[in-house]
Chain A
Amino acid sequence: MNDDDRIERLDETECWRILSEQKLGRLATTAGGVLDIFPVNYHADGQTVLFRTAPGDKLLELTIHDHVVFEVDGFDERSGWSVVVKGAARALDRGHEIETADAVGLTSWLPTEKQVYVRIVPSGLTGRRFTRADASSPSLGES
């Protein structure tokens, strides 16, 4: 049996629906060829993904290499799913952009004092849903 038989590709509408229902995702950056992953709280508005971060390493990486990958996943008893957003990330530095972002009421995952908003404009959006072949496998756990 080919494992792909159990993988369902999600269309763009379904991907955005999943993105809009959750708050926590993981961001991967590849500055200088070095891969890193961070959990981030986010808000998806159907066109872009907004998150807040400390103006430290992560932001520096974005200015060096703005192509990022953002992932959200979830599961229930019967299936699991993941949505991957690829795109360019940019820190918001204009007053009206920041005001718009403030209205979302987003908090940073890390309790850092200084925070900047970053918005990802997707160039690619893919979603997969897969049947959990082994319902007796260990719980995936709260994350």
Chain B
Amino acid sequence: MEPAGTLLTHLRRGTLEFCVLALLRDGEKYAVDLTHELSRDGVLVTSEGTVYPLLSRLRRDGVVATEWRESAAGPPRRYYRLTPSGEAALVTFEEQWRRFSGAVDAVLKGEWTA
């Protein structure tokens, strides 16, 4: 049996990036706020820093865009927002995720019949 930590790592792969996109659905977010939200309970990410490699890839993939803005207190802040291709990827993921998680739930509850 896999330890719980390894299992979570596997489950995060392929889903975490869409959690980032989903957090941006209602509008842009400041990078630091984004990492705080994602690491709130330690389920989605183990620590705040592990979000940044993902953010860097999402920028390269063009599913998010960023903008630097001056801040009243402190250094300039980087804001993230969804691009049209990011929105499309999120819609596709959400459809497939509902199907997938519904099927897994049904199997776990013993409600999966042929």
A and B part of one assembly: no
* Chain B residues packing against A (C-beta within 8 Å): none
Which residues does A use to contact B, with CB under 8 Å?
Answer: none
